Amino acid sequence: MEVIVLNIIIEKNMTRYDLIVGEYIHHYNEENMVFFTWLLNGNTGPSVTWKKGDRLDLGYLSSKTDGINKADMVGIMSELMDRFPEWISGMFIPAGYESYE
């Protein structure tokens, strides 16, 4: 598998998300992994990594990622799931945040 990295813009929930997204093979267990980095400051920001095809608990991810609140996590991940359906098999969205999809 080749490494895939893209810079994409998502406009959702009255916010513009400038992201670097991609796939890679984990160097320890050789699993296919996916990631995004939200370029909050133009060239740096918080990152999230998960096993390709996982079902994700967005409330948990948000709590473990400094700088990405639940509303932003739902907006970003729902758009990534729409654009790259093979990356996320499903999402658990925290109660009260369904409208941010």
Would you list the domain boundaries of the chain? 4-95
Segment 34-58, tens digit of pLDDT: 999 999 877 889 999 999 999 999 9
Query: SS3 for the chain, per residue?
Result: CCCEEEEEEEEECCEEEEEEEEEEECCCCCCEEEEEEECCCCCCCCEEEEECCEEEEHHHHHHHCCCCCHHHHHHHHHHHHHHCCCCEEEEECCCCCHHHC
- pTM reported for the whole predicted model: 0.89
Q: Mean pLDDT over residues 81-92, rounded? A: 95
